[in-house]
Amino acid sequence: MIGSLRGEVLERELDGIVLVEVAGVGYRVHITERTLAELEPGTETFLYVHHHVTETAESLFGFRAKDERITFQHLIKTNGVGPALAMAVLATHPPAALVDIIASNDVAALTLVSGVGKKTAERLLVELRDRLSLPMLDTPSDTSGSAVSEVREALTGLGYGTDEVRDVLRDLPSDAPSATLLRDALKSLGSKRA
């Protein structure tokens, strides 16, 4: 099984796949949009890899940090969560933010993930509560999950609708401080209403 790759980024595709050449062999690796933006063709990279094997295919999923790979592996062990949905979760919420979301039982934050409705979010909260804990992660928790909650509450209090708030927060980085998130959310909402 492949656990990591170190090599040159040959190309990246808009559908979240990067081609990494290691010792003359090119590996197609699925990555999140956030990671895709960080990997420039012609540069050296190191990725932690989950080698996913099914009856019909083998796929590689790459992560810049070990805690992302661990979180991905916990997500795909959850009933009804496949690799595509796990990558969507990680693209929306970094591991530390996800831990905070689970700890604060924040259903609304999970529904920001494309493909996750309220029922799926509630089930994920229950199933992930025991799996995702701070000791398993390499990086300390931050308050980004609660920052998203604070901004959501502030925007709702200002009269913005649930759908507007969800859409604008989906487009913003969930690991930013609440003041930055609120400023960027208000700017985005203002331009959409203008």
∠ CA 71-75-81, rounded to 5°: 155
Please report which confidence band the pLDDT of residue 137 belongs to, taking 50, 70 and 90 as the band edges.
very low
Specify the pLDDT at position 132: 66
Residue 66 or 142, more confident: 66
3-state secondary structure 73-106: HHHHCCCCCCHHHHHHHHHHCCHHHHHHHHHCCC
d(CA 58, CA 119) in angstroms, rounded, equals 30
Specify the pLDDT at position 133: 54
- Looking at residues 120-146, what average pLDDT do you find? 61
Phi-psi region of 80 (alpha: psi -120 to 50; beta: other; left: phi over 0): left
Residue 13 or 181, more confident: 13
Specify the pLDDT at position 140: 37
Residue-wise over 102-118: b if at least 16 C-beta within 10 A, else e? bbeebbbbbbbbeebee
Over 60: is that where the pLDDT of 178 sits?
A: yes
Specify the pLDDT at position 30: 96
Specify the pLDDT at position 180: 81
Over 80: is that where the pLDDT of 69 sits?
A: yes
- Looking at residues 50-73, what average pLDDT do you find? 92
Over 60: is that where the pLDDT of 139 sits?
A: no
Please report which confidence band the pLDDT of residue 193 belongs to, taking 50, 70 and 90 as the band edges.
low
Over 70: is that where the pLDDT of 145 sits?
A: no
Over 80: is that where the pLDDT of 28 sits?
A: yes
Mean pLDDT for the chain? 83
Please report which confidence band the pLDDT of residue 51 belongs to, taking 50, 70 and 90 as the band edges.
very high
Please report which confidence band the pLDDT of residue 142 belongs to, taking 50, 70 and 90 as the band edges.
very low
As a whole number of angstroms, the longest Cα–Cα distance in the chain is 56
